[in-house]
Chains A and B, each alone.
Chain A
Amino acid sequence: MLKSAGRALAALLVSCSPALAQPKEILLGALLPLTGPAASIGIEEQQGVQFAIDQANAAGGIAGRPVRVRFDDSQGKPDQAVLAFNRMIDLDNVPVLITAFSSVSLAIAPLATRREVLVVNPAAQTDKLETASPFLINTIPMVRHEASVLARFAIDKIGKRTAIIYENAAAGIDGRNDFRKYFEQVGGTVIAEEPVEFGQTNYRSTLLKIANAKPDFVYIAITQSHETMADQVGQIANFPVSIGNTFSRPFFGHASTNGWYQTAIQSGYPDAGTLAAFKKQFGTADMGFFAREYFNATNIVLEAAKSVLASGGTLSGPSLKAAVLSIKTFDSPIASITFETNTALRPVEILQYRGAERALVETARPAQ
């Protein structure tokens, strides 16, 4: 407590005298949902960022300078995020911030524009993030990119008539809107759609109604309690085959979902040595999707920082942003990312659940 009060005091002083010498260490911020309903994801993301920083320091820092990260908790809430954003910019003066969660990213986007801080979003996918701020860089494609790939695949390989079940929350609604748009564009029809509430556990009437409409397949966009839905699908005879998105992974492994499809953003593993180091450092059995994405996104930030420093510039939101866009292509074993705009273009995979494996059916590159 005393420490933070001291820091606040120091920040007050700093803000009064902006002409302070550039600090020797490179400081990044990360604003993650460390508490609240999304905390389990937030912590995985935290590990990814921390790991990238530790690796960079182990390799002698960036341009000889040590790197440090300051984590802060957004609770997944917009007002808390605004407080945390200001805390970080004022107390620690960070030029770049790694973020998560659609509502949080949208809430801090205008602040990022005003205060010229680079915000890097490696996980939230709501379409509005594409244009929310010139200082917002998305290292993951948006919902609409995935939906366009999925719609084209579905009309080719599954059928022309679909029904949609979507979660009545940001990700689900975007998923429904985008899938409907692209599916209709390629000549399909949506014959029914039903929302389910976030955190709901009784899907029976929704599933019955959808099955009763007899679509060729069902598009399901939910982010929670897939297992329960899979159980309840199992009670309905001849439930149509279903397709999902990146969030649908927990559908995999149930008897009732065999033969279903999902899209997945192509995300590979780092080399064996790095992977082993990660598992050792955090005592985990795997390096999960979010850990890999945040590790990769942090590396992108560090690479940009290196290039800024190499050209003799100072680390600031504008300089880092210019560096990211001018480097443009970031290849790593995890992903090959191209920035034509603020938002990365990346390949999307279609997977099918076949018994005990998620089989790769095809890989596509979404159009801009």
Chain B
Amino acid sequence: MLYLQLLIDGVVSGCAIGIVSISFSYFYATTGIFHVAHAGIYTLSGYLAWWMVGLGTPFAAALALAILAAVVVGYLTQRLLYRPLEESGATPLVLMIASIGLLTVLQNVVAILFSPNIVQFDLPWRLSHTAIGPIALSLPQAILGVLSLLLFAGLVLFSHHTAAGKRIRAVASNRELAEITRLDPKRVFAQVLAISSGIVAVPGVLVGVDQALQPYTSLLVLLTAVVAMIAGGIGSLTGAFGMSIVLAVIQSLSVAVMPGRWSVAAVFGTFILFILLRPEGLIRSRFSRAI
């Protein structure tokens, strides 16, 4: 029973990490920019929704507004930060440092505007939970799981079956060619970052509703998501989402057999060893962009 419950909890947190992973992967595979500040947008959207709920906004509206805000911040990030940098011929290292700067800014804007402390949503329903047989699932967990699956399916459909999605994939696969064929990569990049940011706002808010909000821990979530992305094959949304769930389940179950304090070290330590011994990656797609 313990294992079953741990498994389910792992799947739900895996869904949240999976959404972070696919949204990061979508932008990264398209642009090659290691967008660390994605974690900052995750944090920002959670606190925005919390603040609006505190003002009496209905939760659904607060979630929608938080997503909208994330879209705007994502779009502006590409327009005002990455694009000027790329135009000035910045190396990926410079882009990366700028992104770390932006992450720091976003986290601390949150701490200054809202609260540097751990906060919880003032929503009575967040404590209600259902028991399906021996398994207990809180309402926010259930919503998080369902929405994540929908978002994942939605992004896959969008990417493969819409004109806009195909255009993005065309730019991702060959930037120079896209430029020649008037696909304007710069516009496409801004669109992609807007979409990715909107998507990452959903777990940003819902994980906060389910547990609590914390201004400074999102980097760890992002790094786990990136590990999942690499293990699942860069550019593959299904791989990233699937590996996120696998990683989260392993982390959740591992608590039952070993002291939880080593789990972070175990995930990253294994990853580093793996990279050292098998740099060509799990799925043999030797991917080496820049830096």
Contact = CB atoms under 8 A, between A and B. Distances in A.
A334 interface: no
Interface stretch (A44-52, A76-84, A231-239, A316-324): A231-239
B255 A206 contact: yes
Interface in B10-49: 10, 13
Query: Which size bracket describes the interface of A in this complex?
Result: 20 to 34
Interface in B247-291: 252, 255-256, 259-261, 264
Contacts of A212: 2
A157 B211 CA distance: 33
B259 A235 contact: no
A37 B213 CA distance: 14
A209 B256 contact: yes
A290 to B, nearest CB: 15
Interface in B65-111: none
A259 interface: no
B181 to A, nearest CB: 46
Nearest to A231: B127
A205 B6 contact: yes
A205 B116 contact: no
Interface string B186-217: 00000000000000000000000001111011
A185 interface: no
B118 interface: yes
Interface string A168-204: 1000000000000000000000000011110111101
B159 interface: no
A235 B8 CA distance: 14
Nearest to B9: A204
B148 to A, nearest CB: 15
A224 B2 contact: no
Given A194-B260, A205-B260, A199 B255 contact: no
B127 A234 contact: yes
Contacts of B217: 199-201
B146 to A, nearest CB: 18
Contact of A205 (B129, B214, B252): B252
Contacts of B126: 231
Interface in A282-338: none
Given A37-B116, A195-B259, A209-B255, A201 B211 contact: yes
A107 interface: no
B5 A168 contact: no
Contacts of B238: none
Nearest to A228: B212
Contact of A237 (B9, B117, B136, B252): B136
Interface string A31-68: 00000010110000000000000000000000000000
B66 to A, nearest CB: 18
B128 to A, nearest CB: 10
A208 interface: yes
B43 to A, nearest CB: 12
Given A204-B9, A212-B2, A199 B136 contact: no
Scoring B13, B126, B260 by chain A CB atoms within 10 A of each residue's CB, the highest score goes to B260
Contacts of B211: 201-202, 228, 231-232
A195 B260 contact: yes
Given A205-B6, A209-B2, A227-B212, A194 B118 contact: no
Contacts of A199: 118, 214, 216-217
B141 to A, nearest CB: 9
A289 B187 CA distance: 56
Contacts of A232: 211
A201 B9 contact: no
Interface string A197-229: 101111011101100100000000000110110
Given A201-B213, A208-B5, A235-B136, 11 more contacts: A196-B260, A199-B217, A205-B9, A205-B256, A205-B260, A209-B2, A225-B118, A228-B120, A228-B212, A231-B126, A231-B127
Interface of A: 37, 39-40, 168, 194-197, 199-202, 204-206, 208-209, 212, 224-225, 227-228, 231-232, 234-237
14 contacts: A40-B117, A195-B260, A196-B260, A199-B214, A205-B10, A205-B260, A208-B6, A225-B212, A225-B214, A232-B211, A234-B127, A234-B129, A235-B136, A235-B138
Interface of B: 2, 5-6, 9-10, 13, 116-118, 120, 126-127, 129, 136, 138, 211-214, 216-217, 252, 255-256, 259-261, 264
